Amino acid sequence: MQCDKLLKDILDHIGTNLLNLESVAHFLELAIEFKIDSLLEDTSKLIVTRFMHVAEANPKFIYLLPHAVMIEILEQDDLNIHEEYDLVHWVKEYFKYHEEYATKVPQEPMLVAGTEVWSHLSESEKKARNDAFTKEKKLLTDAVDKQKKLDIANFHKIGTEGFQLEEMRHAIEKMFLEQKIKGNVDNEVDKRKIAKTDEWKTQKS
């Protein structure tokens, strides 16, 4: 109960005092990561009403929106666009970006080789190809994640007085992880994350 009230107070504070064009990317990412519906709704509304400003300020931020979020934003009647051409332009650019990204994703070794060739490969050769695929995919995923963080960091330069966003992020993360554990989720990784969050807060104080 106390966690729920604290979370509600934090979300109310965000919506009332912190959510703006400079911080919307940060809070949208937070809403998606932790599946906070109310925060996702608030950030999406801001993007809808100032879509052209957000898109022109940092196109890659728009391109990196999850498909479901992007579609929901584009379907809003009060979407802020100058002309219908603008909407068509950004939709094309969004899918163009994802098509270009998709061409870089490595294909499964069995699909590349084909069923017939794959069936005649030795187990060691199959393993070698699968290992190479896994390594290449991880390198790509890490590069995409790194670039996404850079894009979002460049998009919003948050400076607020009397409220530390990093501390808030750790507080929300801890609350969600605690709720998962209280729900009988036996996850040692989550428990270690909570301990790490407590250690971070101790170091800051």
Which range marks the domain in which residue 38 is found? 2-163
**Shared domain check, 93 and 177:** no
Q: Looking at the 3D structure of the chain, how many domains does it have?
A: 2
Same domain, 66 and 150: yes
Q: How confident is the model at residue 180 (pLDDT cuts 50, 70, 90)?
A: low
Alpha-helical runs (H) found in the chain: 2-13, 24-34, 37-49, 51-57, 59-63, 67-74, 84-102, 109-113, 115-119, 123-155, 165-182, 188-204
Residue 14 shares a structural domain with residue 55: yes
Residue 170's pLDDT is: 59
Is the same domain home to 92 and 130? yes
pTM of the model: 0.52
The pLDDT tens digits for 38-68 are: 999 999 999 999 999 888 888 888 888 888 8
* The two structure tokens encoding residue 82: 């100058």
d(CA 34, CA 30): 6
> In terms of domains, do 71 and 110 share one?
yes
Could you tell me the two tokens for 36? 């906070």
Check: CB of residue 68 under 8 Å from CB of residue 37: no
Q: Are residues 93 and 179 in the same domain?
A: no
Q: Say whether both 133 and 186 belong to one domain.
A: no
Same-domain pairing of 61 and 130:
yes
CB contact at 8 A, 113 and 91: no
